Amino acid sequence: MNLLFTLNRGYLPVLLPCLRSVVAQGGADSYDIYVLHSDLEEADKLSINQAAGAAGTCHFIYVDPAIFDDFPETKRYPKQIYYRLAAPVLLPDDLERILYLDGDTIVINPLQELYSTDFEGSYFMACTHIRKFLGLFNQVRLSLDEEVPYINTGVMMMNLPALREHMHLEDIQRYALENRHILMLPDQDIVTALYGQHIKLADSLRYNLSDRLLNLYNADPLHIPKLDLDWVRKNTAIIHYYGRNKPWSEQPYLGILDTFYYEATGTEPSNGRRGQKAHARVKKADTKQ
C-alpha cells in the first residue's frame, strides 16, 4: 500500500501517532511511505522510520520550497499544503495510486476497501463535510457547477496516471494568484474549483470522520439510529481531527472521538477533568436533540 504524507518539522509530533496507527490498524502487510518535505533532519527521518516499523519502507523526497514562492500561505496554512498537489510530478513515475493522509488523522480499521476502490476515471477519491447551506456558499464563492462537491483534502486517494496527464502546477499557481482574495482553505478551494468534476466521493462517516461531522449527522432527525462510539469502532476507518479541535491541544476537546487518539497513543488527556466536562457537554447536547 502506497501512502503519502507532507509536512514540515513542526508537524512531526502529530505525524508519528498517525503513522503508528496506520501500521497497527491499516490492514496491509507492508507500506511504501512517501514523505514530501523541505526541512526534515536525519533525526526526524529516524523517528519516522521507527514509527513505520518493519512493515513500512520510508521514501523521503525533498521539495524545493521555491517552487511555491508565489502561492498564498498563512501561519495556519503553510506552503506544505500544496506539496500534495505537486505529488504527481514529485513521486516515482511507476506509482499508479497512493493514499494521502493528513498527519492529524488516526486509522482505526483496515484501509484496503478504500485503497482498492475503482476510480472509474476520476482523478481523486475524497470526502465532503459540507452541508447544503455551505455548499451553496462555496458554489457562489468559487463559481462551481451545482453538482461539484466541496471536498476535504485531508484524506485523498490519488489516481496518479490521470493526474500526471491532467493536473499541471502552472494551472494551480495561476488559479491561486488570480483568486487569492477569495481563498479560505487554499488547497481545498483549489482542488475543488479546478478538479471537482473529476472527484469520486467516498463515505465521510467511514473515511474522514470528525466530531463535527458526527454531531451534524446525529442532529438530523431522519438519521435513526444515532451513531455512537460502538458504531464508529466497527465501521469507521479514519478519524480526522481537522480544524482547531484536537486531542493534543491545551484546549478542552469537544466530542467523543478523542478516545481513539488516546487509545492509539496510550495516553490520557493532558487537561485532566476538562476533557470529561467536554464529553458531558456533548452528551447533554445530544440529549436535547
Q: Which grid coordinates are listed for 8?
A: 514540515
- Average pLDDT for residues 9-34, to the nearest whole number? 96
Residue 183 pLDDT level (bands cut at 50, 70, 90): confident
Q: What is the pLDDT of residue 247?
A: 96
Q: Which helix (H) or strand (E) holds 53?
A: none
Convert the pLDDT of each residue in 192-221 to its tens digit: 888 988 999 999 999 999 999 999 999 999
Confidence of residue 11 (pLDDT cuts 50, 70, 90): very high
Asked if pLDDT for residue 289 goes beyond 60, the answer is: no
pLDDT tens for 134-145 read: 556 556 666 666
Task: Report whether pLDDT(14) > 90.
Answer: yes
Q: Residue length, the chain?
A: 289
Please report which confidence band the pLDDT of residue 150 belongs to, taking 50, 70 and 90 as the band edges.
Answer: confident
pTM of the complete model? 0.88
Tens digits of residue pLDDT in 238-254: 999 998 899 999 889 99
The C-alpha atoms of residue 135 and residue 4 are separated, in whole angstroms, by 28
The pLDDT of residue 71 is 80
pLDDT of 134: 57
> For residues 96 and 101, what is the distance between their CA atoms, to the nearest angstrom?
17
- Residue 108 carries which DSSP code? -
Average pLDDT over residues 278-289: 37
Cβ atoms within 10 Å, residue 214: 25
pLDDT tops 80 at residue 235: yes
Q: Are 83 and 63 in contact (CB under 8 A)?
A: yes
Interatomic CA distance for residues 90 and 85, integer angstroms:
10
Query: Given this model, what pLDDT does residue 40 score?
Result: 97
Is 28 or 150 the better-scoring residue by pLDDT? 28
Listing DSSP states for 57-121 in one string gives EEEEEE--GGGGTTS---SSS-GGGGHHHHHHHHS-TT--EEEEE-TTEEE-S--HHHHT---TT
pLDDT digits (tens, 9 = 90+) for 57-87: 999 999 998 888 878 777 777 788 889 989 9
Averaged pLDDT of the chain: 87
Q: Alpha-carbon distance 162 to 171, whole Å?
A: 15
| Cα four-point dihedral sign 271, 276, 277, 282 | positive
Find the mean pLDDT for residues 177-203: 86
Q: What is the pLDDT of residues 252-274, one digit of tens each?
A: 999 999 999 999 999 888 655 34
Residue 234, classified by CB atoms within 10 Å of its CB into exposed (0-12), middle (13-18) or buried (19+), is exposed
Taking only the tens place, the pLDDT of each residue in 92-134 is 999 999 999 999 999 999 999 999 999 999 999 999 976 654 5
Percent of the chain at pLDDT > 90 equals: 64
